[in-house]
Amino acid sequence: MSNTPRAWAGITPEHSTPGEFALPRPAPGAPNVVLVVLDDTGFAQLGCFGSAIATPHIDALAASGLRYNRFHVTALCSPTRACLLTGRNHHAVGMGYLTDIPTAYPGYTSRLPKSAAAMPRLLRDAGFNTFAVGKWHLVPSGERSHAGPFDRWPLGIGFERYYGFLQGDTNQWAPNLVRDNHYVEPPRRPEEGYHLTEDLADTAIRCVQDQKHAAPDRPFFLYFPLGAMHAPHHVAPEWVEPYRGRFDGGWERLRAETFARQLELGIVPDGTELTRRPSWVQDWDGLSADERRVYARFQEVFAGFLTHTDVQIGRLVSFLASIGELDNTLLMLVSDNGTSAEGGQSGTFNEHRFTLALPDTIDENLARLDELGGFRSYNHYPWGWAWAGNTPLRLWKRYTWLGGIRTPLVVHWPDGFAARGDVRAQFVHAIDVMPTVLDACGVEAPATHDGVTQQPIDGSSIRATFDDASAPDPRDVQYFEMLGSRSVYFRGWKATTDHVSKGVADEERLLEGSRDFATDRWELFSLADDFAEARDLADEHPDVLARLQDIWLVEAARNQVFPLVDDLVGRFTSVLPPPNPPAARVVFRAGGSPVPDDSLPRMFGGFRLIASVETPAAPAVADGILCALGDWTNGFAFYVRDGVLVFALNRAGDVRMVRGSAPVPQGARALACHYSLDGGGPAVTLLHDGEVVASAALDVPVPMFWQHGGTALCLGYDRGFPVCDDYEVPFAWNGVLHDVVVEVGRELPPDPGAQLRAALTAE
């Protein structure tokens, strides 16, 4: 029985006993924790893992810390982040796929359950301050509006402060930003020098600085998941220029040179076999001179973007050192999956074009070569660079071959271990990050949390490996599944299917392998002496393969992997409805914040926009945006230019415009745009008070998906970048705008595959 006196409230203090209401305190000496998550960064793209790209600040962390060369993730973004923050396998917490398409099957709801309390909440409950700055991508589509619900936004799972973006990617020059539980505008325009990665680093530093001013002895947890290196690869020209000509030798030479450095660094063991170039990656020497010039420039821009990102990470590290906090900070840097091949065989200037199966031509890209990485681009490199970026491994993101699931892990904690610059070879997984952090911080995971019994933590602490290179692996078994690609690890063996998933057009067309679960072939590898998954032993050891296949089935059933789905149509049959479904007719009133696209009805099947306005009094001429969504990479604008009503549709860079034939009359008016497919093809009609002033057929339809990184409907002005060159933002309406009504027609998607391609490129 406790001897602590119970609180008692009498009439006066003299007749009362005060209680004890101590706040939770971290264990003495508990470290700060910083978890840096890079996006789409391959095993071989950091300097300390053999890359030719300059990453000196990350390399310095590795030189005074540890590198893990057998760290594994899930092959996609949202699932890996769920593993990192919960310590559970991704299907086990409903994140078997992207948050963008939640379904009613338990492994694919995209809703982190209360039975898996996340790391920020556990650390906050233990007395840590908690901040998240960067990409989130753990909120299901339909829950990203101003109405939430907010329990799966960062503050809802335990962070005290948040700044970043909710979707899978965003424009680095003009991002779709959230602070805490509300949307905000970037602090500066791109023309004023704004870049998202720099802004995120500024905010991360400010979060730590503010916290240390208030509680200098209290540790913090900073989750720092950057939008880099996901497409779009946006960076200023001065970061690209040092790489000019550096990749003219092509991806095969880059891969060979990288492999030689990896052997020299000890990041891959002696005896590793460099896997061969697959048939679908073009022979560099067989390309035309123009193709080589364009493709090399894509990689130069990517390299500049990565070096720029490294510098922003370095700024954060330097700040921690300057305030005396770096040595007792457990810093872990990971990538969420292997390199991205979603730029396809030839890359793309505007990834929205690739999503809509509108590949760029070499001539078009040559004409815009100097714009790659700039304001007008949304670029993604050709997949030959993705292949080289995963040296010496096979395949890439979205596949459970090692190229999709083995990524860099750097651990830095000078006060926590003595090892410096070593390589660790234990088989580690993203689910091990949370248990390791809790172990280092002296925090126990509770059996129940908020009254909910907690499901088992699948990961294990790897803290023993920090100072002991011979410490055992944290597990004997680990399953993998993504979009039907399946593999399993068991005591040094790995079995992998040849399944080719659907959703990326070039992969469907070119990749060798099975497109049917019934005909999938399993290959078998002994990872103990085959680091790169290069030598198939299935025919030599059928008994081992059979055992691993059985293990995969057991693990898949235990973790809610079934049913297997490798296309979008299979997901559509069970999509969960959003909590706040948009109506077929919605009134958006002027004067509020931009309306996130989660609150907009689907417009691709036909829509009507009706703006209730009062035009400016004479002699002024009506001018300005009535409503606009997206920008010059994809979107639409409905506006008045020099007194004439205009609708502009930008479909992945292809602009179509319809202009009224008469000026907008003075006074109170209803200005309308009607987009219809009823005549057998897309057509737009513009109206003043019901009177037609323009009608035109379009040779391109409205896309089903507007922006990869999310966007919002602006009323009475535009922001970021314009939809077309006919105006400059903000191009504010110079009359009075009362409201805009959006009405939609049929709801069913004409091309389900288009949404899958859009979702995949937004990971």
Active site residue 77: yes
**Which residue has tokens 């990689």?**
299
- Domain positions in the chain are 35-488, 585-746
Low-confidence ranges of the chain (pLDDT < 50): 1-2, 747-761
Beta bridge partners of 145: 148
Write down the pLDDT at residue 5. Answer: 64
User: Residue 666: is it exposed, middle or buried by C-beta count within 10 angstroms (0-12/13-18/19+)?
Assistant: middle
Write down the pLDDT at residue 2. Answer: 47
Write down the pLDDT at residue 1. Answer: 40
* Secondary structure of residue 24 in the 3-state scheme: coil
Radius of gyration over every alpha carbon of the chain, rounded to an integer in angstroms: 27
**What strands lie across the sheet with 477-482, from one edge to the other?**
477-482, 485-490, 493-497, 522-526
* Secondary structure of residue 729 in the 3-state scheme: coil
Within 10 angstroms of residue 741's Cβ, the number of other Cβ atoms is 15
- Token pair, residue 114, equals 């209360």
Q: What distance in Å separates the CA atoms of residue 575 and residue 662, rounded to the nearest whole number? A: 45
Q: What distance in Å separates the CA atoms of residue 167 and residue 709, rounded to the nearest whole number? A: 5
Q: What distance in Å separates the CA atoms of residue 143 and residue 576, rounded to the nearest whole number? A: 11
Write down the pLDDT at residue 709. Answer: 83
- Token pair, residue 69, equals 């060369």
Active-site option among 48, 57, 72, 77? 77
Each residue's pLDDT tens digit, 111-158: 999 999 999 999 999 999 999 999 999 999 999 999 999 999 999 999
Question: Is beta strand 32-38 parallel, antiparallel or unpaired with respect to 220-225?
Answer: parallel
CATH code for residues 585-746: 2.60.120.200
**Which residue has tokens 């099957």?**
105
Which secondary-structure segment (H or E) carries 83?
helix 77-86
Q: What is the DSSP string of 312-377?
A: HHHHHHHHHHHTT-STTEEEEEEESSS---TTTTT-BSBHHHHHTT-PPPHHHHHHTGGGTTSTT-
Within 10 angstroms of residue 470's Cβ, the number of other Cβ atoms is 8
- Token pair, residue 702, equals 């409205």
35-488: what fold? Alkaline Phosphatase, subunit A (3.40.720)
Model pTM greater than 0.85?
yes
* Secondary structure of residue 129 in the 3-state scheme: strand
Write down the pLDDT at residue 3. Answer: 53
Q: What distance in Å separates the CA atoms of residue 672 and residue 742, rounded to the nearest whole number? A: 10
Active-site option among 91, 137, 195, 380? 137
Q: What distance in Å separates the CA atoms of residue 396 and residue 389, rounded to the nearest whole number? A: 9
Question: What's the start-to-end Cα distance of the chain, in Å?
Answer: 53
Active site residue 380: no
Residue type at 110 in one-letter notation: S
Which secondary-structure segment (H or E) carries 112?
none
Name every residue whose Cβ is closer than 8 Å to that of residue 265 and which is 6 or more positions away in sequence: 48, 49, 50, 423
Q: What distance in Å separates the CA atoms of residue 704 and residue 707, rounded to the nearest whole number? A: 10
